[in-house]
Amino acid sequence: MNHQAPAYDTAIIGAGFTGLVAALRLAQAGKKVVVLESDASPGGLAGTFEFNDGVHIEKFYHHWFNNDAYVPKLVEELGLSDLILTLPSRTGMYYNKRLWKLSTPLDVLRFSPLPFIDRLRLGWLVFQVRKVKDWKSIEHLTIREWLEPLCGKNVFKVVWEPLIRSKFSIFAEDINAVWFWKKLVLRGSTRDTKGSEQLAYFRGGFGRLAEALADRIIELGGEIRYRTPVKGARVDGSTIHALQTAQGEVEARNFLFTPSFELIAKILKNAPEAWLDSLRRVNYLGNVCLVMELTHSLSETYWLNVNDPGFPFVGVIEHTNLDDSSHYAGRHIVFLSRYLAVSDSTWNMSDAEYLEYALPHLERMFPKFTREWVTDYRIWRAEYAQPVTERNYSSYVPGEETPYTNALISTMAQIYPEDRGTNYAIREGARVAKRLMNDDLRAEI
């Protein structure tokens, strides 16, 4: 029986960077593509917003490292290379009521809270980490089980344990060593000859880059529908025929799912239970990010890790110590980011309650800070912000295949052994688009 061909070659769920890049590559190949996005704008976790005074900034802090290859290539392709800023990173640590610089090897040697021998162990750790060539050889170990023998219990307790706890909350003792290994290897390779780290930023924010991507997709004949959450799918056996939205069905020949596994499981709720269970097996942490406009700078540090057990945030990121405040109407932009289980009591706080919860911690860290400095603020929440990579993650993380012959999934939880990030989302979007173009995923309807 002949049916009318579907309106689209590919329907993509999610206008984050994976979905947008996949849509771009498909549209460039002459494919008819539609992107369905629940938010009002593109970019996903890298999207931007506007303060009351017109200043634009990311909802969640973003930069990339100078060894990230895929972001600058995409920026160049879009003709926007003049908007790339390459800047030295100023990192530090708040420990025992004091700020410590930790941007260079010399800073590490001056970190007196550790005995001198432990400072050497901390500095030597980067070289020990580089000796690991096969990440699967350490995947069965937790970060603690792997790191303590390398750097000693004291270094782990003072430097690494507080950061891992603030990053992974209730899962801190479950994260496998690969996550930490990859972080150290990547960060070590971003330093210049003097040991300083170089970071890059896209002026106007990653949301501006996402908007440029979206514009190019539309120029090529693609379509993007915002405020269009996908509620379900019309399925026949091993074939998806259409996605269900409040605005009606969207039929396509092929489908690409880019949200979190949990959201994919909700959309494809009638899939085989064993496959749905494999999606739900991957845990996630949520993130609450408080973004503030201040009249004054808190410190000279861009990225301040807080090694204080009483401080509930992963760090204080003063964005205008990376990109100058003159680009933000003279205001100083600060991110306070917290990873947490969505069952945590602070998840459901109102914005005003959360601000009141956060400010006393800043007052304690920065004695000069007063609440009058805060001229505007926003609070953003992402329920599936951080995939939790437990022991032997590679053995249970779902692949890109689905029970449906015409559907693939590509999400940030599959970028492993790398951690999620815009650079890798761009890489994966291009890769999965190539597969959608090369494979005849679906027999004719």
Higher pLDDT: 228 or 421? It is 228
* Residues facing residue 333 across a β-bridge: 293
Give the DSSP per-residue string, 127-155: HHHHT---GGGSTTSBHHHHHHHHH-HHH
Q: What average pLDDT does range 397-417 have in this prediction?
A: 96
pLDDT bin (cut points 50, 70, 90) of residue 2 is very low
* % residues pLDDT > 70 (the chain): 95
Q: Which amino acid is at 349?
A: M
Domain spans in the chain, listed from the N-terminal domain onward: 8-47+206-281+389-438, 109-180, 198-202+284-387
- The pLDDT value given to residue 440: 54
3-class SS of residue 13: strand
- The pLDDT value given to residue 187: 61
pLDDT bin (cut points 50, 70, 90) of residue 3 is low
Q: What average pLDDT does range 315-337 have in this prediction?
A: 95
Q: What average pLDDT does range 189-211 have in this prediction?
A: 76
Q: Name the token pair of 242.
A: 């259409």
Alpha-carbon distance values, 335 to 143, 313, 428 (Å)? 26, 10, 28
- The pLDDT value given to residue 443: 40
Residue 207, C-beta contacts closer than 8 angstroms, at least 6 positions apart: 41, 42, 43, 46, 47, 48, 49, 56, 58
Q: What average pLDDT does range 96-120 have in this prediction?
A: 87
- The pLDDT value given to residue 192: 52
| 212 pLDDT higher than 90 | yes
Residue 116, C-beta contacts closer than 8 angstroms, at least 6 positions apart: none
pTM (two decimals):
0.91
Give the DSSP per-residue string, 273-321: HHHHHHHHTS-EEEEEEEEEEESS-S-S-SEEEE--TT--SSEEEEGGG
- The pLDDT value given to residue 335: 97
Rg of the chain in Å (alpha carbons): 23
Q: Which pLDDT tens digit goes with each residue over 4-60?
A: 678 899 999 999 999 999 999 999 999 999 999 999 999 998 899 999 999 999 999
Question: How many helices (H) and strands (E) would you count in the chain?
Answer: 13, 19
Q: CATH number of the domain at 8-47+206-281+389-438, out of 3.40.140.10, 3.40.50.2020, 2.30.110.10, 3.50.50.60? A: 3.50.50.60
Dihedral of alpha carbons 5, 8, 9, 12, sign: negative
Beta strand residue intervals within 26-173, DSSP E: 33-36, 48-50, 56-58, 64-65, 84-88, 91-95, 98-101
Phi, psi of 18 (to 5 degrees): -65, -50
| 374 pLDDT higher than 60 | yes
Closest CA to 17 of 353, 286, 411: 411
| 189 pLDDT higher than 80 | no
Q: Name the token pair of 255.
A: 């489908």
The count of other CB atoms within 10 Å of the CB of residue 325 is 17
- The pLDDT value given to residue 66: 79
CB 59 within 8 A of CB 44: no
pLDDT bin (cut points 50, 70, 90) of residue 421 is confident
Question: Range with the lowest mean pLDDT among 69-83, 184-198, 237-251, 308-322?
Answer: 184-198
CB 284 within 8 A of CB 387: yes
Name the CATH superfamily for 198-202+284-387: Protoporphyrinogen oxidase, mitochondrial; domain 2 (3.90.660.20)
| 195 pLDDT higher than 70 | no
- The pLDDT value given to residue 444: 38
* Residues facing residue 233 across a β-bridge: 243
Q: Name the token pair of 202.
A: 């896209």
CB 410 within 8 A of CB 416: no
Closest CA to 276 of 314, 233, 318, 321: 233
Q: Which pLDDT tens digit goes with each residue over 132-144?
A: 999 999 999 999 9
Q: What average pLDDT does range 178-182 have in this prediction?
A: 92
Q: Name the token pair of 70.
A: 């895929």
CB 195 within 8 A of CB 152: no
The mean pLDDT value of the chain amounts to: 91
pLDDT bin (cut points 50, 70, 90) of residue 96 is confident
- The pLDDT value given to residue 1: 39
The count of other CB atoms within 10 Å of the CB of residue 94 is 22
Q: Name the token pair of 434.
A: 């190539």
- The pLDDT value given to residue 439: 57
Instruction: Identify whether 417 is preceded by a cis peptide bond (ω within 30 of 0).
Output: yes
pLDDT bin (cut points 50, 70, 90) of residue 99 is confident
pLDDT bin (cut points 50, 70, 90) of residue 126 is confident
| 198 pLDDT higher than 90 | no
- With 0-12 CB in 10 A as exposed, 13-18 as middle and 19+ as buried, what is 221? exposed
The count of other CB atoms within 10 Å of the CB of residue 87 is 17
- The pLDDT value given to residue 89: 79
Q: Which amino acid is at 68?
A: D
pLDDT bin (cut points 50, 70, 90) of residue 268 is very high
| 298 pLDDT higher than 70 | yes
> Distance between CA atoms of 359 and 352, rounded to whole angstroms?
11
3-class SS of residue 254: strand
Taking CA 230 as the corner, what is the angle to CA 225 and CA 234, rounded to the nearest 5 degrees?
115
- The pLDDT value given to residue 102: 75
Q: What average pLDDT does range 253-270 have in this prediction?
A: 97
Higher pLDDT: 349 or 108? It is 349
Question: Range with the lowest mean pLDDT among 289-293, 321-325, 394-398?
Answer: 321-325
- The pLDDT value given to residue 241: 96
3-class SS of residue 60: coil
Instruction: Identify whether 360 is preceded by a cis peptide bond (ω within 30 of 0).
Output: no
- The pLDDT value given to residue 441: 53
| 405 pLDDT higher than 80 | yes
